[in-house]
Amino acid sequence: MSSKIRQTRGTLALVGGAEWRDGCSFDRTLIEESKDNVITLLPTAAAFEYPQRAVVSATDYFSSLGAKVEAVMLLERRDAFDEVMIDRIRSSNFIYLSGGSPMHLRSVLKATPALDALVAAWKGGATLAGSSAGAMVLTDPMSDPRGGALTVGLGLVKNVAFVPHFDTWDKEKESRTVAIAARGDVVVAGVDERTALIRSAAGVWRVEGFGSARLFSNGENMELEELESRVTLI
């Protein structure tokens, strides 16, 4: 890993799910922007869904792109206080949070040294990516996949609620999420599977991948160019 001293937030990628497969064209760009070919994978959200399977899937996929995956098996809350894991996260140039349970991921990371290390790495220039649950928790508020309501997220990106799997998201949930968000002037970002909503280190947002993304503000469609002025970063 590079020892270069970095001063600005790195690239942020919020992936709509179905990660590490054909159509995720953005991953090659994320590797390039990280200036490293090592991805630090946190399969935390998949702790109850065969996390090793996520590791194998990511390893096979990224090896085809000429990159290497190093998994940090941070699966329960006590792991978030493990100094070895914390140091590995802090020194990473590319951190990827897998999909799974956003509630479990939030409960494991919230107010822990591991989260502090992740934030420090990102604020120091590391690329940070999350897919599905891994992206949902990074925002505040966080969309609740069980019914479309909003709850508390980790708040790396504030005033936006991320909705993954938007191409398959239940329309009733979609309407509920958009309506609730409008009451608090919160932006809703719905992103399709195999698609990423990406913020560059320069603060420019873009959409890459197989599908598309939709933004809502006060119940109406919002342009991507407006997003940077609406969010607050930790």
Domain range spanning residue 160?
12-233
| Residue 6 domain flag | no
pLDDT of residue 77: 99
CB 214 within 8 A of CB 190: yes
> Domain with 72 in it: what CATH number?
3.40.50.880
The predicted-structure confidence for 56-83, as pLDDT tens digits, reads as follows 999 999 999 999 999 999 999 999 999 9
pLDDT of residue 7: 57
d(CA 111, CA 127): 21
pLDDT of residue 4: 42
pLDDT of residue 2: 40
Contacts of 198 (CB under 8 A, 6+ apart): 11, 12, 13, 14, 26, 30, 205, 206, 207, 208
Q: 199: which strand partners? A: 12, 205
pLDDT of residue 1: 43
Residue 176 C-alpha from the chain's centroid:
22
CB 174 within 8 A of CB 215: no
CB 147 within 8 A of CB 154: no
Write down the residue that tokens 């996949």 correspond to.
145
pLDDT of residue 128: 99
With a cut of 50, list the residues of the chain below it in pLDDT. Answer: 1-6
Report the first-to-last Cα separation within the chain, whole angstroms: 25
Residue 19 C-alpha from the chain's centroid:
11
Its pTM stands at 0.95
| Residue 5 domain flag | no
Angle at 50 between CA 49 and CA 56, to 5 degrees: 130
- How many structural domains is the chain composed of? 1
| Residue 181 domain flag | yes
The predicted-structure confidence for 157-187, as pLDDT tens digits, reads as follows 999 999 999 999 888 999 999 999 999 999 9
